[in-house]
A = this chain, B = another copy of it.
Amino acid sequence: MELPQEISKRELALLRSLSTRGGRRHTGFCRCEGVRAVGELLTRAPGAVRFVAGTRRGFDALDFVPEKARSISEERLAELSGTVSCQGIVAVAETPADAEGEVEGPFILALDQLNDPGNFGTIARTFRAVGGRELWYTKGSVDPWGDKAVRSGLGAQFSLRLRRFDDLARLAEQAAASGFGKVFITDPHGGESCFTLPGLFDRSVIVIGGEANGVTGHPRNSVSVTIPMPGNYESLNAAQAATVLLFEHVRRTTTT
């Protein structure tokens, strides 16, 4: 295939600036690396894409040269990329503003100080897979638009309504004001089983805590929900805990 025009100095500078959270916030853009993530982004949110920089290898793997494509050398890309192997392709996309207005159902998934970017991305991808919409998170969480979070999410972030809050109490207040008054806190140490608790996904907030310290506090009227674990092991990885709860919702809606 014929390679597109070469990346400009200005575009290269933009691409470079997006390696930091400050650069992403300042410019309003983020990077999306790798064949699958770029493919998903081009399918799901084509309007957000500013340009796609790739090497011959990258466009070959993608199997087409998209609009707004730019050629970049392997050396330049290696120097820029956030990952050991970005597979020769990286897109620059506009980061959506925080969601506003009416909250879309059936429930809100809230991440409280979730600081592993791979987990954030995996949760976004899984939430998207079950048809979720509202992914809220608290300050102290990792940037959802960082390289690794976007890569792990395969760009699912672009199809969700993300919203950031200073802390869990404010998040719960906003949810209640929008008619999502029930707050369920996942707790490895107690609470009713997620497999039997009624109303778990009925205009509610499901809170997943961070990897290190769990949930930072229990908002008023919150209820603990636990994932039964017969192995008496360590608590689950945050992304696995989220997956169990999200698919319990799927089970309830597909089998009754």
Contacts and interface: CB of A to CB of B under 8 A. Distances in A.
**Count of this chain's copies in the oligomeric assembly:** 2
B254 A228 contact: yes
Given A118-B118, A132-B231, A126 B237 contact: yes
Interface string A108-136: 00000000001000100110111110000
Given A193-B255, A195-B255, A240-B122, A129 B229 contact: yes
Interface of A: 36, 40, 118, 122, 125-126, 128-132, 154, 156, 193, 195-196, 227-234, 236-237, 239-240, 243-244, 247-248, 250-251, 253-255
A183 B193 CA distance: 29
A154 B255 contact: no
A36 to B, nearest CB: 8
Nearest to A36: B234
A126 B255 contact: no
A228 B244 contact: no
B236 A129 contact: yes
A242 to B, nearest CB: 9
Contact of A250 (B40, B228, B234): B228
Contacts of A228: 250-251, 254
